[in-house]
A and B are shown apart, each in its own frame.
Chain A
Amino acid sequence: GQNIDQPTEMTATEGAIVQINCTYQTSGFNGLFWYQQHAGEAPTFLSYNVLDGLEEKGRFSSFLSRSKGYSYLLLKELQMKDSASYLCAVSDSNYQLIWGAGTKLIIKP
């Protein structure tokens, strides 16, 4: 079966750095996405990785290792507004998105 695993919840301090991990087992791979979702709102696109390595975009970076079925989202200089759920999703061999359950990130002052 297809599976996306990410921690349920993480807590970090304002101004700090946090890494949210995602491991996946899917039938085929056509890219991995990270989305941010605030409570009661729809997901918003953060990043897309299809090749191994690190993609940096401002305070957010995303890393992919296809051989390990592993990705992480790195958030730097955390702000209170970064409190949200972060969803990992993989595009499988049929280009269908398989979603993880999301990691709820709590930022403390």
Chain B
Amino acid sequence: GAVVSQHPSWVICKSGTSVKIECRSLDFQATTMFWYRQFPKQSLMLMATSNEGSKATYEQGVEKDKFLINHASLTLSTLTVTSAHPEDSSFYICSATTGTDRRVFSYEQYFGPGTRLTVT
């Protein structure tokens, strides 16, 4: 149980284009989903937290107009990187949890396999 999928697993796009990454919880309802970015040899950086049916909460320094997050259902969240640039090349990971209680979030986060984005 508690499987999270991401699509695509990797994508190459040209500078200036937009890319959409999907995150799905396959066997549970994900009330809350998280989007992380990880650069090589660096730690996971939380970009935003999204709750189903409401606007995402972005971390400081993350441009909400550039990284559009939609959590339209209890099993799907999407991250769209708009007008991508080479510096956006990174490993994007989503995670999902069934809880709304922040005390549960850190203990019951289920991670997706990640999406490798390369912007040329």
Contacts and interface: CB of A to CB of B under 8 A. Distances in A.
A43 B106 contact: no
Interface in B71-105: 91, 93, 95, 102-103, 105
A73 B67 CA distance: 35
B43 interface: yes
A87 B43 contact: yes
Residue from the set B41, B107, B116 with the largest chain A CB neighbour count within 10 Å: B107
B113 interface: yes
24 contacts: A30-B106, A31-B106, A31-B107, A42-B95, A42-B112, A42-B113, A42-B114, A43-B44, A44-B111, A87-B43, A89-B106, A91-B107, A94-B102, A95-B105, A96-B102, A96-B106, A97-B44, A97-B105, A97-B109, A99-B43, A99-B45, A100-B43, A101-B41, A101-B42
Interface of B: 41-46, 91, 93, 95, 102-103, 105-107, 109, 111-114, 116
Contacts of A41: 113-114
Contacts of A40: 91, 114, 116
A4 B106 CA distance: 16
Contacts of B41: 8, 101-102, 104
**10 shortest interchain CB distances as A-B pairs:** A42-B111, A99-B43, A95-B102, A91-B106, A101-B43, A99-B44, A42-B114, A97-B106, A42-B93, A42-B113
A41 B6 CA distance: 11
A13 to B, nearest CB: 23
A18 B90 CA distance: 30
Contact of A43 (B45, B102, B111, B116): B111
A33 interface: yes
A94 B102 CA distance: 7
